[in-house]
Amino acid sequence: MTDIPLAFPRSALMTFAALRARLPAPVWLDGAAGGRYSVMSAAPRGQLVSRHGRTHWQPGEGGDARDLGPGDPLALLDAQLGAPVASSVPFAGGAIGYFSYELGRRLQGQTPRDAGMPEMAVGLYDWALVLDHRHRRAWLAGDPPAGLAAWLADEPARAPGAWWPTGAASARPDRADYEQAFRRVHDYLHAGDCYQVNLARRLQAPFDGDPLGVYAAFREAAGGPFAAYLELAGGPILSGSPERFLELRDGWVKTAPIKGTRARLADPHADAARRDELGASAKDRAENLMIVDLLRNDLGRACRTGSVSVPRLFALESFVTVHHMVSTVVGRLRGDRTATDLLRDCLPGGSITGAPKYRAMEIIDELEGEPRGIYCGSIGYIGRDGSMDTSIAIRTLTARDGMLDYRAGGGLVADSDCAAEFDETESKAAAFRRLLAVVG
């Protein structure tokens, strides 16, 4: 393994577009909007793709595809990663991909729905281009293809292709149907089934053109620190996620759930007042605390007894279209557990299911009536050094079969107001609507 320093690219987007034109199965974990690192790679030695309860190995070049059977896909991934290998950069090879909400249903003992895409798709990559945005440094790490370092040193640049909507956007449920689902959730809450249930709406719009062109516009509209673009089985997947799911580094685990949202306002004084109102909201604090307690329990399954703590509670973070309330939960991983064990214990994230998680997921399945797919799953990497960094796949869309598909939801509790909750889904959908307005 090598770490080759490179000049920091003038445009990460154009560097990735050039890489994508040169090599197959490109992936980009894009931390330019508030994150520290970005990771790019391509040409994996193969992909692990799990669908319909079975996992398959799809080789990158040459070799035969293999059916690996109905076993636990995360255990199969752990076997592919092998024994940890030390690294001096955040990612120098390993797995990059996605773990869908439907995989979470499977891991929770529920039957996953067919979302028309794999439950899991990860590429096994031997190298990465790593960008440190804080210090404007770049490395080529791992075991890259011959000649790649020299090619990257020439600062290749390529613009993404054009794209355009080919019809109007649709959203479901509409306000009337949402009100009906809201009342049903409240029945469950008052009956004691749950304390909180996340309920989402689905937005779609037909399009044509280059999905990377869509992402170029979307990253401006969404602006999350855990953004990503993946061309793997079931993709392309485009994410502007603001939410970290699980980070594992040097044996320490961190998760940062979001609960509590307010739409941004154009007037700075009104916007600051809106942010202050969120910070003072007893309802949002209670909702956030429910999920913090759920995640303390989830982390406790894989972490050492007594190591789980909450160093940051009810912090406020601002993004392009919304303010969020964010807490942080940390713990020390047990010596007999790995990154995939931790992922298995926690997927899907509690911030986008509800509490208790299992029952909330049953209610979501009943009322949403269709699979979530990548939405509310997770995107990120598990390195050969045993580290992991993943996001919650919110502010995320797929761009395939001529359709852009996006979801927006929010957590409902006993004192939720239906109109306010519907408006919150509209605030979270603003990035998608703004995307369509860019070229519409």
Catalytic residue numbers?
243, 259
**Do 69 and 55 form a contact (C-beta atoms < 8 A)?**
yes
Packing angle, helices 211-222 and 430-439, rounded to 10: 130
CB neighbourhood size of 350 (10 A): 28
- CA-CA distance, 300 to 296, in Å (whole number)? 6
Joined tokens for residue 423: 């408006």
* Cβ-based neighbours of 27, under 8 Å, separated by 6 or more: 39, 40, 41, 42, 96, 97, 123, 125, 228, 229, 230, 231, 232
3-state secondary structure 221-245: HHCCCEEEEECCCCCCEEEEECCEE
The residue among 288, 248, 216, 246 whose CA lies nearest residue 378 is 246
List beta partners, residue 156: none
* DSSP code, position 350: G
CA angle 241, 246, 251 (to 5 degrees): 150
Joined tokens for residue 323: 């303010």
**Do 98 and 374 form a contact (C-beta atoms < 8 A)?**
yes
* Cβ-based neighbours of 76, under 8 Å, separated by 6 or more: 48, 55, 68
Buried/exposed code over 4-30 (b: 16+ C-beta within 10 A; e: otherwise) = bebeebeebbbbbbbbbeeeebbbbbb
Peptide bond into 348 cis (omega under 30): yes
The SS3 of residue 166 is coil
Percent of residues in the chain assigned helix, strand, coil, to nearest 5: 30, 35, 35
Residue for token pair 């729905």: 113
CA distances from residue 281 to 246, 257, 310, 314, 335 in whole angstroms, order as listed: 26, 17, 20, 10, 40
Joined tokens for residue 252: 């320490």
Residue type, 355: A
Joined tokens for residue 179: 């009100």
